[in-house]
Amino acid sequence: MAADTHVSFEEVRRIARLARLELSPQESASMARDLGEILAYIQRLDAIDTSHVQAVTHGVDPEPMRRVDVVHPSPGTEQGLQNAPDRLGDGFGVPKIIE
């Protein structure tokens, strides 16, 4: 684990871009401070030896589920588009993708 938990503005900008967020200067400052504080707290996990521990993804493992291979009706187009911010025919309208 990284020893330095200081989070720079540059790091905040990089992560924000990955997370598809745009932060105001004030938000960036608060974010750098809060993330630094949280990561410093999280360092305490260093104290436990996990070299022989198998990671788990769930507390109670979900049972393997099988179902009969039968086709069920899907929600229709109208239901799918009911909350669309922008509709284009039978699809979602989006801003131009290819410049």
Partner 1 sequence: MSEQTLANATVEILGEKFSRGEVSSLEATEACLAREGSTHHFGAYLHVCAERARKDAQLSDARRAAGNAIGPLDGVPVAVKDLLLDQGLPTTCGSKILKNFVATYDATVVSRLKAAGAVLLGKLNLDEFAMGSSNEHSAYGKACNPWDPERVPGGSSGGSAVAVAAGSAFATLGTDTGGSIRQPAAMTGVVGIKPTYGRVSRFGAVAYASSLDQVGPMGKTVRDVAWMLQAIAGHDPHDATSSSRDVPDFTQLLERGVQGLKIGVPKEYFVDGIDPEIQAAIKVALALLEKNGATVREISLPHTEHGIAAYYLIATAEASSNLARYDGVRYGVRAGGAQGLMDMYLKTRSEGFGFEVKKRIMLGTYVLSAGYYDAYYLKAQKARALIKRDFDEALRDVDVIVAPVTPTPAFKHGENLSDPMAMYLADIFTVCLNLAGLPGLSLPCGFTGSGLPIGMQIIGKPFDEATILQVARAYERETPWHTRRAVS
Q: Is 78 helix (H, G, I), strand (E, B) or coil?
A: helix
Q: Which residues in the 64-93 window bind partner 1 by CB under 8 A?
A: 65, 67, 75, 79-80, 82-86, 92
Helix (H), strand (E) at residue 41: helix 25-42
Angle (nearest 5°) at CA 7 between 24 and 42? 120
Q: How many CB atoms lie within 10 A of CB 7?
A: 19
> What is the per-residue binding string for partner 1 in 19-58, x denoting contact by CB under 8 A?
xxxxx---x--xx--xx-xx--xx-xx--x-x--xxxxxx
Q: Is 16 helix (H, G, I), strand (E, B) or coil?
A: helix
* Residues of the shown chain interacting with partner 1 in the complex, contacts defined by CB under 8 A: 1-2, 11-12, 15-16, 18-23, 27, 30-31, 34-35, 37-38, 41-42, 44-45, 48, 50, 53-60, 62-63, 65, 67, 75, 79-80, 82-86, 92, 94-97, 99
